Amino acid sequence: MLPHCHPIPIEGCSVDWALEEGALRCTVSVRTHWTTGVEMEALCGVNAGLLCAWDMLKSIEKDEDGQYPSAVIDDVRVLRKSKGETSAI
């Protein structure tokens, strides 16, 4: 899901996953020749990916009270914005 915040033609999108020390990293890169709003598309992609991962893994994390004591989604940010591509993590 990449809702268009601005009417820009998205020419490509990639999603990369990495297992890190006690964490799962999702990086989304969006490619376009336009510059306005492309970072919003990448940020939305990261959030959608992480929410999907949370939903698939919640049975591992959930405690006996139905809570998630240590799972957290954090540090969602734009890593780089350059002409033609934006990466968000």
Reported as a single tens digit per residue, the pLDDT across 46-82 is: 999 999 999 998 888 899 999 998 889 999 999 888 7
| Mean of pLDDT over the chain | 85
**pLDDT of amino acid 85:** 57
Sheet hosting strand 12-20, strand order edge to edge: 12-20, 23-31, 85-88, 78-82
Q: Is the pLDDT of residue 25 over 80?
A: yes
Residues belonging to the active site: 55
Q: Give pairs for 5-11: CB < 8 Å, separation 24+.
A: 5/37, 5/40, 5/41, 5/44, 6/34, 6/36, 6/37, 6/40, 8/32, 8/34, 8/36, 8/37, 8/38, 8/41, 9/33, 9/34, 10/38, 10/41
**pLDDT of amino acid 73:** 94
